[in-house]
């Protein structure tokens, strides 16, 4: 799950800090603790993957959360059930909370991981990067938009674990791409 696309919205500060710590230490997820100002500055282009909210936040922002109920988890105390929305019982024991969270996070983990082998287009882009071309030139050469070039570069970095231009160039040399 991508980092910082997990939002925690609860009026219980200690609960928020505890949840953030648990997500970080056990699940390696860097969650963001938001406050009520979140909704006024909400930016649709960076739609989060998951919300942990308290009941008051749910009630006050039903119009926001109902369309997002598949990725909303309501923090409760006790085995409270809220129709159609997943809940996490914050007064359960630590191990129960962790196993409940593993289940909740798994069901939200449907995004497919990109295959680790490079597509022929990505190899093309990699070859041009290694030749020292900038994004604009790559776009022109392959007749694609700069945004598409950026997407290819993002995927290259995700697949190879290499970000810098010189790192990518040396990788291309190692693998006979240039």
Partner 1 sequence: MALINHDSKLSEIILHDPSTITVLDRFGIALGVGDATIEQACSQHDIDVNFFVTILNTYINENYFPQQALEQFEVTEIVEYLSKTNSYYEHYILPNIERHFSFLIARAPSHNNNIIIMKQFFDEMKNELLQRINDDRDRLFPEVISNVKTLKTVSELSHNENATDTIEDKIDDLINMIVMHLKGDYDHNLGYAVIVAIFSLKKDIKQNNRIRRRILLPIYNSLTPQDE
Q: Whose Cβ is closer to partner 1: residue 64's or residue 170's?
A: 170
| Residues 58, 85 contacting (CB under 8 angstroms) | yes
Q: Does 132 bind partner 1 (CB under 8 A)?
A: no
Structure tokens belonging to residue 152: 């290819």
Among 40, 45, 95, 164, interactor with partner 1 by CB under 8 A: 164
Site for partner 1 in 60-99 (CB under 8 A): none
Among 88, 92, 144, 160, interactor with partner 1 by CB under 8 A: 160
Smallest gap from residue 167 Cβ to partner 1 (A): 3
At residue 51, what are phi and psi to the nearest 5 degrees? -120, 135
Smallest gap from residue 172 Cβ to partner 1 (A): 10
Q: Does 161 bind partner 1 (CB under 8 A)?
A: yes
Q: Whose Cβ is closer to partner 1: residue 151's or residue 157's?
A: 157
Q: Does 177 bind partner 1 (CB under 8 A)?
A: no
Q: Whose Cβ is closer to partner 1: residue 92's or residue 160's?
A: 160
SS (H, E, C) the chain: CCCCCEEEECCCHHHHHHHHHHHHHHHCCCCEECCHHHCCCCCHHHCCCEEEEEHHHHHHCHHHHHHHHHHEEEEECCCCCECCEEEEECCCCHHHHHHHHHHHHHHCCCCCCCCCCCCHHHHHHHHHHHCCCCHHHHHHHHCCCHHHHHHHHHHHHHHHCCCCHHHHHHHHHHCCCC
Q: Which of 15-23, 94-102, 125-133, 161-169 is the region at the interface with partner 1 (rule: CB under 8 A)?
A: 161-169
Q: Does 162 bind partner 1 (CB under 8 A)?
A: yes
The residues that touch partner 1, with contacts defined as CB under 8 A, are: 160-164, 166-167, 170-171, 173-174
């Amino acid at each position: 799950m991508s980092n910082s696309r997990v939002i925690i919205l609860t009026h219980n500060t200690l609960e928020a800090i505890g949840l953030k710590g648990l997500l970080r230490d056990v699940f390696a997820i860097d969650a963001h603790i938001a406050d009520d100002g979140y909704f006024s500055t909400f930016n649709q282009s960076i739609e989060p993957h998951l919300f942990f909210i308290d009941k008051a936040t749910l009630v006050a922002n039903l119009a926001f959360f109902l369309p997002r109920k598949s990725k909303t988890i309501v923090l409760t105390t006790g085995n409270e059930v809220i129709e159609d929305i997943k809940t996490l019982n914050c007064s359960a024991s630590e191990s129960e909370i962790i196993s409940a969270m593993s289940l909740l996070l798994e069901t939200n983990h449907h995004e497919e991981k990109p295959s680790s082998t490079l597509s022929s287009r990505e190899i093309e882009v990699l070859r041009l990067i290694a030749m020292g071309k900038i994004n604009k030139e790559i776009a022109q050469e392959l007749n694609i938009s700069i945004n598409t070039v950026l997407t290819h570069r993002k995927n290259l970095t995700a697949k190879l674990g290499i970000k810098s231009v010189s790192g990518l160039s040396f990788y291309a040399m190692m693998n006979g791409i240039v």
